[in-house]
Structure 1
Amino acid sequence: MGAVGKVQTFLTPAQVEALVASYRVGTSTAELSETFGIHRRTVVVHLHRQGVPLRRDGLAPKHVKTAMQLYEEGWSLAQIATKFGTTANTVRAVLRTQGVEMRKPWHHLQNR
């Protein structure tokens, strides 16, 4: 009996080149994973093989304003983190640096 799981996707050299170029201009590993249909760890493997220094993926500057709006609309930090492929702690830190007042953890449950 063979292993059950996701079909393995191989990238062409041109696709790896595009992946690296996209990462270098700020695309997150989570976004690249979705775009190329590969696991996030596989994205990192390709970047390592190409000698690309990794940055810590956080909340991309282009998503900060949207994250602030979603939080004000009542989204939880975890929901925002999932949307942008990061962690709730990262979202909290970014929103706090933007001057956003954090709700009590149970507050979003009261506004449903």
Structure 2
Amino acid sequence: MRIYQQDDGATVFSLAKQFGITRQTVGQHLRARGVDTTRLVLQPEDVALAIELYQAGWAYAQIAEKFGMSQTGLRDRLHQAGLPKAEPFGRRGRNLGRA
């Protein structure tokens, strides 16, 4: 496996996808070679952009990949920033037509 420097812009997620291995395995290989794999917290301007992308119709998976983080981490961060939680799939409109 080629060792990627932090400034290459590759994320653990993109490397896992490229090499067909888990992100945990990528992290183990990188840490063994002295690469810091600490996740970066979204900066305020990144949070604002992520919210804009979500409101424009992007899926959490797409936004998470763009910022190199997990969907869960992204969703939690956006909710902390005030983005309302979406209803679970299939629950929207569940009571339509009921009086």
TM range (shorter): 0.5 to 0.7
1:31 aligns with 2:24: no
Query: Following the alignment from structure 1 to structure 2, what is the Cα–Cα distance between the partners of residues 91 and 68?
Result: 10
Q: Distance in 1 between matches of 2:88 and 2:53?
A: 15
2:45 matched to 1:92? no
Matching residue of 1:51: 34
- SS of the residue corresponding to residue 31 of structure 2 reads helix
Aligned residue pairs: how many?
85
Aligned sequence identity (%): 22
Are 2:84 and 1:101 aligned? yes
Change (3 A) 1:109 1:43: same
TM-score scaled by length of structure 1: 0.49
The answer to whether the 8 Å contact 1:74/1:108 transfers is no
Deviation at 1:50, TM superposition (A): 1.0
RMSD: 3.6
Gaps of 5+ in 2: 94-99
Residue 41 in structure 1 maps to residue 47 in structure 2: no
In 2 relative to 1, CA 63–87 (structure 1 residues): closer, same or farther, beyond 3 Å? same
The aligned amino acid for 1:28 is T
Matched AA of 2:55: E
Q: Structure 1 or 2: larger helix share?
A: 1
Report the CA distance shift for 1:26/1:50 in structure 2 as closer, same or farther (over 3 A): same
What runs of 5+ residues in structure 1 fail to find an aligned partner? 1-10
SS in 2 for 1:30: helix
- SS at 1:99's partner residue? coil
Deviations 1:45-66 (A, max 9, x none): 32122133432x4775475344
